[in-house]
Amino acid sequence: MNKPNLTCTKFTRKSRKYSSYKGTVGKVADNRINRRFDTHIPYQKITTDTTEFKYYTKDSSGKTVIEKAYLDPFLDMFNGEVLSDRLSKKPNAKAILDALDDTIIITKHCPYRTTIHTDQGWGYQMKGFSKRLKKNKIFQSMSRRGNCLDNSPMENFFGLMKQEMYYGVVYESFEDLKLAIDEYIYYYNHKRIKAKLTGMSPVEHRKQTSQLSA
C-alpha cells in the first residue's frame, strides 16, 4: 500500500471515543468480574456500555449537519451474543433501562446468579439501574475508573462492529443508521462465525450448549 501511496480509511477511527463518565453521581459497585470474562454458563456474565455513532443530515439551507446517535447493547460474555440493545439520539436513562429490562427477561432462567458488568458511566450509577438489579437478584460489577481493559469484551465488540459496518460508510439519516445496526447485530448473532466458538455463530453455540446440557 505504501508503494502506490494508498491509504486505508475503512478501519480508521473517525473521532474521539465517547465517554459516559461524569464523576461520582451515584453508587460505584465493586469490580466483581475483575477481568474473569470466561464462563461456560449462558447468561451468567453480561456486559454493557454506550458507544457513539455519527450520521449526516441537511438543514433547510442544504448545509450538511453532523448528528450523533448512541447505542446501548447488552452482551453475553459466554458467547459474545448481543441480548438486547437500544439506539437513541441522545445518551439517556430510558434507553439503558429499556435494554436492561429486555436483558433481565432473557436471563431470568439462568441457573446461576447473573452478574452485569459496566464501566463507571453515569447511567450505571443511577438508582434506577441498581434498583432493577437488586430487585432481580443480579450482581452489579464495575470496571476501575479509566481502565478500558476491565471491560474488553464490550470494547472488542464495538471495535469489530464499527470496522465492519460503520467506518468508511456515510449514513444520511438516523433511520438508515438504525437499520444498518439492526442488520449487523442480527448478522453478528446468527451468521458471523468465531474461531473461539469452534466455527459457530454466537446463537448456534448457545443452542448447541443448551442441547448438550439438556
The domains located in the chain, with CATH, are 45-213 (3.30.420.10)
C-alpha cell at 172: 444520511
* Cα–Cα distances in angstroms (integers) from residue 191 to residues 12, 127, 196, 205, in the given order: 25, 37, 14, 11
pLDDT band at 92 (very low <50, low <70, confident <90, very high): very high
The strand pairing partners of 73, in sequence order, are 85
pLDDT category of residue 14 using cuts at 50, 70 and 90: low
> Residue 126 burial by CB count (10 A; 0-12/13-18/19+): exposed, middle or buried?
middle
What's the average model confidence in pLDDT over 28-48? 97
What would the pLDDT profile of 167-201 be if each residue is shown by its tens digit?
Answer: 999 999 999 999 999 999 999 999 999 999 999 99
Q: What pLDDT score does 211 carry?
A: 75
Question: Does the pLDDT at position 119 exceed 80?
Answer: yes
In the chain, how many H helices and how many E strands?
A: 6, 6
- Rama region for 159: left / alpha / beta (φ>0; ψ in -120 to 50; rest): alpha
Residues 6+ apart with CB under 8 A from 195: none
Indicate whether 11 pLDDT > 60.
Answer: no
Q: In this predicted structure, which of 15-19, 29-33, 107-111, 160-164 has the lowest mean pLDDT?
A: 15-19
Pairwise CA distance, residues 119 & 24, whole Å:
12
Going from the C-alpha of 94 to that of each of 97, 100, 124, 139, 148, the distances in angstroms are 5, 10, 12, 21, 24
User: In the chain, what is the straight-line distance between the N-terminal and C-terminal CA atoms, in Å?
Assistant: 52
